[in-house]
Structure 1
Amino acid sequence: MLASEVDAFDPMERAFHETGNRCLANTEHLHADWSLLHEYSLSPGLPAMAHGWDAPQLDHRPVACKGAPEAVCALCHLDAAHTAAILSRAAQIASGGLRVLGVAKARHYGVDWPARQHDFDFSFVGLVGLVDPVRPDAAGAIAECQAAGIRVVMITGDYPSTAHAIAAEVGIGAGRIVTGDELAAWDDAQIRGAIATTDVFARVRPEQKLRLIEAFKARGNVVAMTGDGVNDAPALKAAHIGIAMGRRGTELAREVAALVLLRDDFAPIVASIRLGRRIYDNLGQAISYTVAVHIPMVAAAMIPVILGWPVMLAPLHIVFLELIINPVCSLVFENEPERRDLMKRPPHRTQKALLSKAAFVRSAAAGVVLALIVLAVYAATVATRHDVMLSSNLRLSRARRRQRSANFRGARDGYPKHVPRRGHGKQLHWPCPGPDRERSALAHDGPHAGTTLFTRPFTRGLRVQMTK
């Protein structure tokens, strides 16, 4: 407890406080009156932290330290045999999937605090194992990723034996485990060669996580990384998709990450991949539909005009169709259910277009076929309408001929036909087979006696305007 953060945020730090308060209650080992005076943080070169305390009842200032077992052994200046025994025991504990830390203590009698932890005379206290249980749905989520062609790699600072046990539990291939010491001795080319066949990396330092991310990117992979600590920030920022834990993640990790999980679990990542693939497929279908449906619209608007047919689509019709097509496209394809093989297909290449050439050709072909059908139906309709109009004109022409025949018979009998006329007066019509020239006549009897009749040529007869 004395080597842990006072205001614990990390789950491991909280576990130390909760266990200590529960197991050491009502004993002299809980020191509420002690105050923290000095703190030594973790560093890449020394994965251990120490706290210096002010104890009013003691003549010295207690120092508590915890960290990686090999680092704590180095601070205690143990001999090789003693160090080997401790590390062997730590590896045995870690093989059960526990996270192992070493604990040490020291006394400081001076006023000024040393600059380094190595300046203290630490004595080794023991080893602590912490259980970080795997979530029940983690193995299923990882298996689903692997079926979808997504490779899952474990990069951890834990012991190789701990990493091996956890990897075997969740289904990550742990045939070979590369440690941070090996990464430190390799150049970038060797690292790129190792990541092709290695899925578990243990005892990895923060700067080595960054090198691994860059190596995966150099091989052309799209890299997503999860992290929660301050040391994970550079790698989170370097990855294509940095994913920070929302609950236990530090503020810096959440700031540099592209995504922040509200639930610290691997399953939401898989659900996001599933949703993204479904949206991608639906967008492709929507674009294919748009291409296919606009080809007959363009043909219906242009081909009749080019061929001299009656206009099929007016501008108002086109606007109306656009107002229908776009909302329908959005509503229908947005709610399209996912395909059965959605999470069994390999990921798309980053250079692949949203609508491939083959899909575009299929959509265009469907649009052309639909355009031909629409134009064929319209052509048949135009032809049928022309026949109907021609028949009507013939019937009208015959009716006019019958009327003229009747008028001719009336003129032959001496009776002109009275044709109503708008305005004043009447018109008299005599069919006249003679030459079309102007004539004048005088009505001698009847109601029009004394009226001068002026005649004008009118096809095959004479129209007579009566005036006083």
Structure 2
Amino acid sequence: MATMTDVALRQRLDSVSVCARIMPDQKLRLVEASKAQGGIVAMTGDGVNDAPSLKAAHIGIAMGGRGTDVAREAASVVLLDDDFGSIVTGVRMGRRIYDNLRKAMAFIVAVHIPVAGIALLPLVTGLPLLLGPIHIAFIEMIIDPVCSLAFEAETEERDVMTRPPRARTTPLVSRSLIAWSALQGICVLLMSAFWTAALVRSGAGQEVVRAGTFMALVLGIIGLILVNRRFSPSVSAALARPNPALAWVLAVVAVIVAATQLVPQIAVLFRFAPVGWPVILLIVGSALALLFGLERLKRLWRGGLVA
């Protein structure tokens, strides 16, 4: 290796998996050669001589138990138990957290499109106000726990450890993810607006129209939560994959929404009137159809969703 040029070394790296009995300066050459080929390079070490290559690697990993102070200072990560298996565990956890951040961001972008759209709909159509402060506050009470608790508790994707490392320049929120979020939000907005128009055409009163629109919007938001739980298209995973935090959030939402129809005092507080079970079942059916439709559309975005 000492007689090889940098170009020759980079070419050999394509077919070589192990380099044995090499000097510290040769470790540094290996790191630089791998980086020159566009690889994401991690380097482990414990001695003073390992410091240059630990510093040069994208991720320098020093041994915490037997490693020297110089190696630990040069590294970006210190392996406290000196167990290489902890590196795999750390990568797995990091990828899960990164995925869940992107899922939460996708949900935040998607959910505010129908909320803003329904809030502005009366300005365009001349309808009475559909969403008041109490309705917006209730919706925000759904959004905040979902982002801080439910998505944080989501388990990892099946392929989380088979993906290649992402480029360092890859943004947290890509254009493809924003486009997918916007499409989701527009679909929920259209579903909610459809029920607003349907109830108005049926001659329903203002309180009934508001209640039906709000119910469609909340069920659409629940659909967005379920769709964004997974990057892979799977209705069964969206509905059945266990997440206790999400289950509690959805249970509380279901109880409050039911109370707005069954408890007169709460209905007055929300300025609602009973919608009727036939309409409620139709709204629930449209929300389920939206969920299945978005899961099918997700196949078109699958490659752009995973970073």
Contact 2:51 2:70 in 1 (8 A): yes
Tell me what 2:121 maps to.
303
Shift of 1:329: 1.6
Instruction: Kindly provide the amino acid, as one letter, of the partner of residue 67 in structure 2.
Output: G
Q: Deviations over 1:33-52 (max 9, x none)?
A: xxxxxxxxxxxxxxxxxxxx
Shift of 1:309: 1.0
SS at match of 2:2: helix
Instruction: Kindly provide the amino acid, as one letter, of the partner of residue 279 in structure 1.
Output: I
Shift of 1:244: 0.4
TM-score normalised per structure 2:
0.62
User: Closer, same or farther in 2 for the Cα pair 1:305/1:291, shift >3 Å?
Assistant: same
Q: Does 1:343 align with 2:157?
A: no
Query: What CA distance in whole angstroms lies between the structure 1 residues aligned with 2:127 and 2:61?
Result: 62
Shift of 1:332: 0.7
Q: Does 1:254 align with 2:109?
A: no
Shift of 1:306: 2.0
Q: Deviations over 1:201-228 (max 9, x none)?
A: 2221111211111111111111110000
Instruction: Kindly provide the amino acid, as one letter, of the partner of residue 253 in structure 1.
Output: A
Query: What CA distance in whole angstroms lies between the structure 2 residues aligned with 1:387 and 1:332?
Result: 34
SS at match of 2:66: coil
Contact 2:65 2:80 in 1 (8 A): yes
Contact 2:128 2:206 in 1 (8 A): no
Instruction: Kindly provide the amino acid, as one letter, of the partner of residue 250 in structure 1.
Output: T
Shift of 1:387: 9.6
Tell me what 2:51 maps to.
233
SS at match of 1:242: strand
What pairs with 1:399-418 in structure 2 (closer than 5 Å)? Answer: none
Query: What CA distance in whole angstroms lies between the structure 1 residues aligned with 2:180 and 2:194?
Result: 21
Partner residue of 1:219 out of 13, 37, 45? 37
Higher mean C-alpha deviation, range 342-351 or range 257-266: 342-351
Shift of 1:315: 4.4
Report the RMSD for the aligned CA atoms in angstroms. 2.2
Q: Deviations over 1:163-219 (max 9, x none)?
A: xxxxxxxxxxxxxxxxxxxx2212221221222221222221111211111111111
Q: Does 1:187 align with 2:5?
A: yes
Q: Deviations over 1:226-253 (max 9, x none)?
A: 0000000111111111100010000111
Q: Deviations over 1:83-111 (max 9, x none)?
A: xxxxxxxxxxxxxxxxxxxxxxxxxxxxx
Shift of 1:377: 1.9
SS at match of 1:202: coil
Tell me what 2:256 maps to.
none
What pairs with 1:12-411 in structure 2 (closer than 5 Å)? Answer: 183-315=1-133, 317-383=135-201, 384-385=203-204
- Answer with 1 or 2: which has the greater Rg: 1
SS at match of 1:343: coil
SS at match of 1:376: helix
Query: What CA distance in whole angstroms lies between the structure 2 residues aligned with 1:219 and 1:277?
Result: 23
Q: What are the ranges of 5 or more consecutive residues in structure 1 without an aligned counterpart?
A: 1-182, 389-468
User: Closer, same or farther in 2 for the Cα pair 1:199/1:387, shift >3 Å?
Assistant: closer
Tell me what 1:48 maps to.
none
Shift of 1:310: 0.8
Tell me what 1:99 maps to.
none
Q: Deviations over 1:102-156 (max 9, x none)?
A: xxxxxxxxxxxxxxxxxxxxxxxxxxxxxxxxxxxxxxxxxxxxxxxxxxxxxxx
Shift of 1:359: 3.4
Shift of 1:357: 3.5
Contact 2:10 2:33 in 1 (8 A): yes
SS at match of 1:201: coil
Instruction: Kindly provide the amino acid, as one letter, of the partner of residue 78 in structure 2.
Output: V
> Percent of aligned positions with the same letter in both sequences?
52
Shift of 1:324: 3.3
Query: What CA distance in whole angstroms lies between the structure 2 residues aligned with 1:387 and 1:356?
Result: 41
Shift of 1:344: 2.5
SS at match of 1:271: helix
SS at match of 1:269: helix
Shift of 1:348: 2.6
Contact 2:54 2:74 in 1 (8 A): yes
Contact 2:40 2:165 in 1 (8 A): no
User: Closer, same or farther in 2 for the Cα pair 1:273/1:387, shift >3 Å?
Assistant: closer
TM-score normalised per structure 1:
0.41
Instruction: Kindly provide the amino acid, as one letter, of the partner of residue 74 in structure 2.
Output: V
Q: Deviations over 1:317-340 (max 9, x none)?
A: 434433431222221111111122
Query: What CA distance in whole angstroms lies between the structure 1 residues aligned with 2:20 and 2:162?
Result: 30
The structure showing larger relative contact order (alpha-carbon pairs under 8 Å, at least 6 residues apart) is 2
Instruction: Kindly provide the amino acid, as one letter, of the partner of residue 106 in structure 2.
Output: S
